[in-house]
Amino acid sequence: MPWNPIIKSRRDWETIPNLYDYESVRKEFSWEQARAELDGLPEGQGLNIAHEAVVRHATGSLGQQTAIRWLGKSGQVEDYSYARLDDLTNRFANALQGLGVVKGDRVFVLAGRIPELYIAALGTLKHRALFCPLFSAFGPEPIRARLTIGQAKVLVTTESLYQRKVAGILETLPHLEHVLLIGDEGRPTAIPGTQNFHELLEQHPHTYRIGPTDPEDAALLHFTSGTTGTPKGALHVHGAVAAHHITGKLALDFHPTDIFWCTADPGWVTGTSYGIIAPLTNGLTCIVDEADFDAERWYGILQDHRVSVWYTAPTAIRMMMKVGVDLVRKYDLRPLRFLASVGEPLNPEAVVWGEKAFGRPFHDNWWQTETGGIMIANYAAMDVHPGSMGRPLPGIEAGIVKKTESGGVEVVDQPDVQGELALRPGWPSMFRGYWNEPERYKKCFAGGWYLTGDVARKDADGYFWFVGRADDVIKTSGHLIGPFEVESVLIEHTAVAEAAVIGKPDPVAMEIVKAFVSLKDGHEPSDALRRELLGFARARLGAAVAPKEIAFLPTLPKTRSGKIMRRLLKARELGLPEGDTSTLEA
């Protein structure tokens, strides 16, 4: 294990960290208290995420404060105050009502980081329908799969995404009743069978009263990937807002005057929990940048918009590291107080590089779609152990467990012994199920623990260290990709007999998707066929999911029961020992 010096907490704060004393806050903490920081709906009508994120500020002292500052790709800057966001989200909630959308219906949004996405998300939550974001870099096939599994009633998307990715699959989506289109660059759209998002907003009243919302009412459906089978829809409830709110304060050290920038794409859970909900419930100003990564643009945003808390991801940090520290030093980033990272392991070098480039380390934290919010983190007032994910949040019990032969689990007590990372269920943003898949959900629990699918260890100081995934899912540029979804598309090609997909280590993206295929009789490996397969997969899956490399093999290694051994392919790819091959087909 590489040795990295601990980065001592600076203790020269102008702003005292919320989690100043980890041990005592942890001891005193209760979720009831966290919940008590929220408003609740008037007249005891329950707890609704959109009320906490928007209404209570809009109708309170923050009405004119900027909730979202949107930075367009072409240099536009547009501010949405809490009052304006309230008005627009009320209109959207009324529009849903007008379309016959009822509590619990699924409203999907396929869009990049544009204001309409935020309006649709919060308006949907006001109306008590389920907000289901889709990653805009998905191709038609992952979009179709998710809309089908979630039985989408409404899809909000842009005109160009619709034409490129949705029009061709529409026939396969009988549940989809309404497509609301956002004209590109604000232009009106006139595509038959669709409605114009902005016209709908204009036609509907700007007041809306949120109906009674039980904290256990469904609110969000976030798709994630497993090793096998179709994508899973992780269901979250309105009560999760207590966890979003408090983890924003404790793990990201939100203070009322912060300008916060979460660079995550809204198609993934971070973009909702921390790109929308947590900063707004805390009454902050959020920066939303439509454009993709560009080091100069990013440093310019940090400087010009006086960002004080920044939440980004290892792939982006590694790209900044490639550019070097000289560029960043040209910018005045004095307001930047806290830097955090999530989504993949953050290399110790990247943590230390943060110190060099920004005068502050990146604070790694860990969580996943199913947990709904940050579970383990390096805190502002705590020493950072570079390479470690940190320590569990107050209210969260994390452990390292091993499965026993009887099907239960036992907790590993000794420090530095690796096992599966597990959490004691009971925090508010814990997922409540996989959409229509109770069996898959049940399998995530054993012996009173939720099993995360990650392998980790805990050191003698109580810090957790990520070791790897317990399954075959792939993390590329922070996005979880299910190998099965990719393999299923490859074998649709007429030349392909079998396909197996692995994550191949990559210095920037952590892993890239690599596919191995065997061909049907009558087809021969060639560069032309490889290019054709790459293009075939890309057109169906989209750039974010499609394989970047394809290798031909005469046959794929399989167990005697016929399962393709992805692990073996990976070990061979990496030149590692092949492990137990006793079940390998002769």
Q: Which residues bind ligand AMP (CB under 6 A)?
A: 224, 268-269, 342-345, 364-366, 368-369, 389, 452-454, 466, 469, 475, 480
Closest approach of ligand AMP to the CB of residue 503, in Å: 11
Nearer to ligand AMP, 86 or 511 (CB): 511
Cβ neighbours of residue 502 closer than 8 Å, sequence gap 6 or more: 472, 474, 483, 514, 516, 566, 569, 570, 573
Helix (H, G, I), strand (E, B) or coil at 402: strand
The bridge status of strand 362-366 relative to strand 338-341 is parallel
Q: Which residue from 499, 503, 502 is spatially nearest to 477, judged by alpha carbons?
A: 503
Closest approach of ligand AMP to the CB of residue 67, in Å: 25
The answer to whether 82 and 92 are in contact (CB under 8 A) is no
In the numeric block, the tokens 């999911």 are attached to 545
Nearer to ligand AMP, 70 or 465 (CB): 465
Closest approach of ligand AMP to the CB of residue 544, in Å: 12
Helix (H, G, I), strand (E, B) or coil at 258: coil
CA distance 165 to 541: 10
Cβ neighbours of residue 260 closer than 8 Å, sequence gap 6 or more: 252, 254, 279, 284, 285, 286, 287, 307, 308, 309, 310, 311
Nearer to ligand AMP, 344 or 487 (CB): 344
Q: Using alpha carbons only, what angle is made at residue 577 by residues 574 and 579, rounded to the nearest 5 degrees?
A: 120
At 496, list the tokens: 């392909």
**Residue 445, number of CB atoms within 10 A of its CB:** 13
Closest approach of ligand AMP to the CB of residue 399, in Å: 15
Nearer to ligand AMP, 87 or 364 (CB): 364
Closest approach of ligand AMP to the CB of residue 390, in Å: 8
At 44, list the tokens: 């005891």
The answer to whether 446 and 434 are in contact (CB under 8 A) is no
Closest approach of ligand AMP to the CB of residue 228, in Å: 16
Tell me the residue type at 389: M
Nearer to ligand AMP, 88 or 235 (CB): 235
**Residue 187, number of CB atoms within 10 A of its CB:** 9
Q: Is 15 left (phi over 0), alpha (psi -120 to 50) or beta?
A: beta
Nearer to ligand AMP, 312 or 452 (CB): 452
Closest approach of ligand AMP to the CB of residue 270, in Å: 7
Nearer to ligand AMP, 89 or 341 (CB): 341
Nearer to ligand AMP, 28 or 461 (CB): 461
Closest approach of ligand AMP to the CB of residue 413, in Å: 23
Nearer to ligand AMP, 54 or 221 (CB): 221
Instruction: Quickly list DSSP for 440-507.
Output: HHHTTEETTEEEEEEEEEE-TTS-EEEEEESS--EEETTEEE-HHHHHHHHTTSTTEEEEEEEEEEET
CA distance 471 to 443: 14
Nearer to ligand AMP, 343 or 399 (CB): 343
Closest approach of ligand AMP to the CB of residue 133, in Å: 12
Closest approach of ligand AMP to the CB of residue 294, in Å: 24
